[in-house]
Structure 1
Amino acid sequence: MAFVITSPCLGEKSGDCTDACPVDAIHEGDDQYYIDPDLCIDCGACEAVCPVAAIFAEDSVPEHEQEFIVKNRLFFRTPA
């Protein structure tokens, strides 16, 4: 399981999460940040510092934000 960044991050991109990630799993995209599911170690450090509460464990992503799981995987081209 990896963490996923959801819609509150769209256009926000403060970057606090990238500084907190101990394995450099978070990458900047055109519209938001994304977490590489192959690098994420599920430590939760990014979730704790997100100023807009956009980061969730994959199995805890709210129902209305589920599309961001797919969007994140497509960013890294990781099959489900």
Structure 2
Amino acid sequence: MTFVVTDNCIKCKYTDCVEVCPVDAFHEGPNFLVINPDECIDCTLCEPECPINAIYPEDDVPAGQEAFVALNAELSREWPVITERKDGLPDAKEWENKPGKLAELKR
């Protein structure tokens, strides 16, 4: 099983999770992070580090967000690895917990 970054990360992109990842499974896009399912070792370290609860075990992805499983796999092949914490996006607080942000995703 792998962990999946979901909708709530879009336009927030907090990176607390990347520092604790022992296998560098996180990849960074313009306004979203993803987890490479081939690299993730299901260690559970990232999930509690996310300040906005955007990371879930693959089997527990919230209803309606199942597409993020495939999206994480797809984008992790395209985006570079991120291993160090950075500040969230400048207007992240405004976007926290807003539902339906998939249309805001920048590739």
**Do these two structures clear the TM 0.5 threshold for a shared fold by scoring above it?**
yes
Instruction: Give 2:61's aligned amino acid.
Output: V
Flag the structure with higher helix content. Answer: 1
- How far residue 57 of structure 1 moved from its aligned partner, in angstroms, is 0.5
Question: TM-score under structure 2 normalisation?
Answer: 0.68
- State the superposition RMSD in angstroms: 1.0
2:91 paired residue number:
none
Question: TM-score under structure 1 normalisation?
Answer: 0.89
Q: Which structure's CA Rg is the greater one? A: 2
1:35 paired residue number:
35
Percent identity, please. 47
1:67 paired residue number:
67
Unaligned runs of 5+ in 2: 78-107
**Structure with larger RCO (C-alpha < 8 A, sep 6+):** 2
SS in 2 for 1:65: coil
User: Aligned residue pairs: how many?
Assistant: 77
- How far residue 14 of structure 1 moved from its aligned partner, in angstroms, is 1.5
Runs of 4+ with >2 A deviation: none
1:45 paired residue number:
45
Rounded to whole Å, the distance in 2 between the matches of 1:51 and 1:20 is: 14
Rounded to whole Å, the distance in 2 between the matches of 1:46 and 1:65 is: 19
Rounded to whole Å, the distance in 2 between the matches of 1:21 and 1:68 is: 19
